Amino acid sequence: MSNKKRISALIFSLLLSILICSCKPNLPVDQTDISQPSDEQTTSIQNRKLTVCLGYSPESLFFYKATTQVEWDILQAMYDLPTITSDGETFPTILKGIPSHENGGLEITSTALIEGDMLVDTSGNTVPLEKGVQFFPSGCSTLDCAKKWDGTESVLVDKVKLSFQLLDDLKWSDGTPLTAQDSVFSYVLASDPLTPIDKTLIRQIADYKAIDQSTLSVSLFPGVISQNPLPYFFNPLPLHAWGDYSVAEILQAPFANETPLSWGAYRIKEWGTDSIYLERNPYYYRAAEGLPAFEELEFRFTSVQGDTNLATLDFDYAPYEIFEYNWSPDGSTHYMDQCDVVDSTVDFSDQYDMFDYLLDYYITPAILVNNPSNEILEGLWLNPQKGWVTDLQPILSQCIDRSYLNSKLNYGIALPTESIYTVSYDAANNLYAPDEAAQALETLGWHDDDGDPGTARVSNEVESIQNGTALTLSLPILNDPFYEREAELLQLSLQDCGIQLDIQPYQAADYYQMENTPIYKDYDVRLVTQRITAEFPCTMVATEAGNFTFPGISKDEKISSQCSGSSNLEIPETSIPLIPLFYHVDISIARSDLCGLSPSGQPSSDLWNIEEFDYGETCSAGIKN
């Protein structure tokens, strides 16, 4: 626990305090009128402001140079991406629809190719047809039916044509109409070798053109197999403002990197030392809905420290008995103009106990905490070279109380899971079944001779195990309070089944040694933390990092054979010696009366629907969290 965290916990426990009023007035902000049309201008007795605090500052706001979460957060306020994803469904925003067979926006035709014709191979690369090229023949969409051209056989592949329809009457933030030509201009910029983005998808495009003011036609090279047409739509960039400049000039220009025109809810007003100020875009296509709710939006750059940002969040401190003291790094207090939202660019991993206090110790929670999964799984890896250990996998899984583990280790903030690939957990009907597991152990020959759950079961006629061997699994861990606590909690669960852990803490210098050490060869189980993709575990098999995180994975015959096969499907979880425990989360916090915050909707930004944010009495009943 950090010193700041200890101080925070102590302060929360003090009985005497200085009450701090939470009724902080919004400071008036000078608004500069930039050719706003009188029929769309919103008047207000007092300008309302939303303050979003971020962990660090952006380098650029040029769409094709954005690489950080902070940059995407700010761009989300300036641009509505062509679609949004919420609760697993995708909806169009500036498009009239997503191209499909049903709406006529997706056409697939078969075409014959001869040697030298361009096509997209099974790896997604655009190449000339020549002997040895692997491709998807017409009607095929998986590696199971892919072919390698022998140089003589006739080649028939599918060719895709897409049509995108922009909404009518879209405008840039300077009032200029936004047209399909702006998307073509964006495609041209993206295609230029100087533009720092991956060109794989761009090279799959044979033709990208505007049919009229709102219609785009996109023809792909034969062989493209994609269930998602959206990556082939290029977000518009302002041709009327940037068209006279070279790509090299645009990449360096302040008008592209600092004050780009936008079509979303807000437009750039001013860059400050520690903030960027935006103002309501009067030409926003959803303005008639009363969006956005705020005249001004401030992105304030604080730090990545969780305690600093929690201290700057706008909530009613008085009931929570907090002394007025300074958490901020610059020596100033922040009570007069605090953050309404703090997004996941801040590291809140050491603040879970504080969240527990602010959320659960009183009838009314002090703040909002949003905790979507960040795709990083915490799990228990079983040594694949020890068959007697992997044979215990389903039993070990039944012995672990994931809900209890998460509540004690993460204060319930993380997401327990029984699946490797997704967050899947039903508290009322979960895998935790110690009685069934104990019976299964008895059947295997692991007997509880003394009836004492504090001692390990012993073997009796267990295959390849000497009789009388204690059921004790070695667990090397990093000498770190988090992992020590996690190992202790696992031991508490497993001992109910008669399984003991030999917890072996190592200093980092020893723990992170590469293979050929006892830690990596003789272990029974290990704690692992890994981002899970659809290609897992095959992406781990042939890499040094994979064998470091999952020792022995490259020697697992079952995994190796399935990963080397022709199928591109996920490897079945039963083939992977990994017990999922919980998914880590990306935390964003907000004042308790904020509505609209739903970070699970879009992976690129917590603020995917920032135009719908509101707080106080004006919150729409239909936009609650």
Joined together, the tokens standing for residue 116 give 């030298």
Q: Which of 203, 200, 199, 195 is nearest to 248 (CA)?
A: 195
| 254 CB neighbour count, 10 Å cutoff | 9
Per-residue DSSP letters for 517-571? Answer: SHHHHS-SEEEEEEE--TTTTHHHHTSHHHHHHSTTGGG-HHHHHHHTSS--SPP
Q: Is the pLDDT of residue 238 over 80?
A: yes
Of residues 220 and 450, which shows the higher confidence score?
220
Question: How many angstroms separate the Cα of 616 from the Cα of each of 133, 280, 416, 621?
Answer: 61, 19, 33, 11
Q: Give the confidence band of 399 by pLDDT, cuts at 50, 70, 90.
A: very high
pLDDT at 569 over 80: no
The mean pLDDT of the chain is: 85
For residue 390, the one-letter residue type is: T
- Answer yes or no: is 184 within a domain: yes
Residue 16 in any domain: the answer is: no
The answer to whether residue 41 sits within a structural domain is: no
What does each C-alpha distance from 220 to 124, 133, 160, 205 come to in angstroms?
A: 12, 18, 6, 4
The DSSP bridge partners found for residue 576 are: none
Is residue 11 in a domain? no
Q: Assess if residue 54 is contained within a domain.
A: yes
For 252-306, what is each residue's pLDDT tens digit? 999 999 999 999 999 999 998 899 999 999 999 999 999 999 999 999 999 999 9
Confidence band of 19 (pLDDT split at 50, 70, 90): very low
With vertex at residue 326, the alpha carbon angle to CA 321 and CA 330, rounded to the nearest 5 degrees, is 160
Residue 8 has pLDDT above 80, yes or no: no
Buried b (16+ CB within 10 A) or exposed e, 313-350: bbbbbeebebeeeebeeeeeebeeebbbbbbbbbebeb
pLDDT band, residue 517 (cuts 50/70/90): low
Residue 16 zone, left/alpha/beta (φ > 0; ψ -120 to 50; rest): beta
Contacts of 382 (CB under 8 A, 6+ apart): 389, 390, 392, 393, 396, 524, 525, 577, 578, 579
Co-location of 133 and 243 in the same domain: yes
Separation CA 264–CA 285 (nearest Å) = 8
Domain-ending residue, one of 209, 230, 253: 253
pLDDT (mean) for 324-337: 48
- Are residue 112 and residue 224 in the same domain, yes or no? yes
CA neighbor of 347 nearest in space, from 382, 304, 297: 304
Rounded to an integer, the average pLDDT of 478-496 is 95
Question: In this structure, what CATH number is given to the domain that contains residue 329?
Answer: 3.40.190.10
- Mean pLDDT over 504-530 rounds to 80
What average pLDDT score do residues 441-461 get? 91
Least confident window among 119-123, 239-243, 480-484, 616-620: 616-620
pLDDT surpasses 50 at 417: yes
Backbone φ, ψ for residue 165 (5° rounding): -115, 115
Helix, strand or coil, per DSSP, at residue 579: strand
Phi, psi dihedral angles at 205 (to 5 degrees): -95, 120
Both 289 and 247 in a single domain? no
Q: Per mean pLDDT, which range of 122-126, 151-155, 510-514 is the poorest?
A: 510-514
Q: List residues bridging with 54 in a β-sheet.
A: 301
Q: What crossing angle do the helices spanning 481-495 and 402-410 adopt, rounded to 10°?
A: 150
What CATH number corresponds to the domain at position 167? Answer: 3.90.76.10
d(CA 562, CA 215): 44
Pick the range with the lowest mean pLDDT from 141-155, 198-212, 507-521: 507-521
**Tell me, what amino acid is at 201?**
L
- For residue 375, the model assigns a pLDDT of 87
Judgement on whether residues 554 and 405 belong to the same structural domain of the protein: yes
Long-range contact list for 27-32, CB < 8 A, 24+ apart?
A: 27/336, 27/337, 29/277, 29/295, 29/296, 31/279, 31/295, 31/296, 32/269, 32/279
Q: Which of 226, 253, 280 is the last residue of a domain?
A: 253
- Which has the higher per-residue pLDDT, 546 or 441? 441
pLDDT in tens, 62-91: 999 999 999 999 999 999 877 776 666 677
> What CA–CA distance (Å, rounded) separates 288 from 297?
19
Assigned token pair, 86: 């919420």
Q: What is the pLDDT of residues 141-171, one digit of tens each?
A: 888 899 999 999 999 999 999 999 999 999 9
What is the rounded CA–CA span in Å between residue 297 and residue 265?
10
User: What's the pLDDT score for residue 335?
Assistant: 53
Per the CB < 8 A criterion, the answer to whether 540 and 546 are in contact is: yes
Provide the pLDDT for residue 540.
Answer: 87
Nearest CA-CA partner of 526 in 582, 493, 584, 487: 487
Decide: residue 4, CB within 10 A, 0-12 exposed, 13-18 middle, 19+ buried.
middle
Contact (Cβ atoms closer than 8 angstroms) between residue 125 and residue 225: no
Is pLDDT at 377 greater than 60 in this prediction? yes
Cα radius of gyration (the chain): 29
Give the DSSP H/E element, type plus range, for residue 352.
helix 352-360
Asked if residue 35 belongs to a domain, the reply is no
What pLDDT shows up at residue 118?
97
- Angstrom distance (rounded) from CA 96 to CA 89: 16
* CA separation for the pair 346, 362 (Å, rounded): 25
- Domain closes at, from 253, 273, 288: 253
The CA distance from 191 to 218, in Å, is: 14
| Bridging pattern class, strands 296-301 and 49-54 | parallel
Residues 11, 353: Cα–Cα separation, whole Å:
13
Q: Which residue blocks in 379-537 are alpha helix, DSSP H? A: 387-390, 393-399, 402-410, 434-444, 481-495, 508-511, 518-521
Q: What confidence tier does 521 reach under pLDDT thresholds 50, 70, 90?
A: confident
Q: What is the mean pLDDT of residues 501-513?
A: 87
How many domains does the structure of the chain reveal? 3
Tell me how many helices (H) and strands (E) the chain has: 19, 27
Q: Domain for residue 563, yes or no?
A: yes
Nearest to 20 by CA among 366, 318, 328: 318
277 and 209, same structural domain? no
Residue (of 233, 235, 269, 238) closest to 175 by Cα position: 238
How far apart, in whole angstroms, are the C-alpha atoms of residue 174 and residue 78?
Answer: 13
For residues 544 and 424, state if they share a domain. yes
Nearest to 372 by CA among 86, 532, 601, 582: 601
DSSP state for residue 572 in the 8-state scheme: P
pLDDT for the residue numbered 34: 41
In Å, how far are 12, 345, 357 from 351, measured between CA atoms? 13, 14, 10
pLDDT surpassing 50 at residue 43? no
pLDDT, greater one: 205 or 273:
205
Question: DSSP 3-state assignment of 395?
Answer: helix
CB distance 181 to 173 below 8 Å: no
Does one domain contain both 200 and 326? no
Q: Which residues contact 363 (CB under 8 A, 6 or more apart)?
A: none
- The CATH number that applies at residue 484 is 3.10.105.10
293 and 414 inside one domain: no
Q: State percent of the chain over pLDDT 90.
A: 63
> Considering the domain boundaries, does residue 12 fall inside one?
no
**Mean local confidence (pLDDT), 22-40:** 38
Q: How confident is the model at residue 39 (pLDDT cuts 50, 70, 90)?
A: very low
Judgement on whether residues 227 and 348 belong to the same structural domain of the protein:
no
Q: Answer yes or no: do 245 and 390 share one domain.
A: no
CA 169, CA 175: separation in Å to the nearest integer?
10
624 pLDDT above the threshold of 50: no
Residue 215, C-beta contacts closer than 8 angstroms, at least 6 positions apart: 163, 164, 165, 166, 180
Q: Are residues 172 and 213 in the same domain?
A: yes
Range with the poorest average pLDDT among 5-19, 431-445, 556-570: 5-19
367 and 378 share one domain: no
- Mean pLDDT for 50-61 is 96
List the domain range (segments joined by +) for residue 579.
Answer: 374-585
Parallel, antiparallel or unpaired: strands 472-478 and 500-506: parallel
| DSSP reduced 3-state for 265 | coil
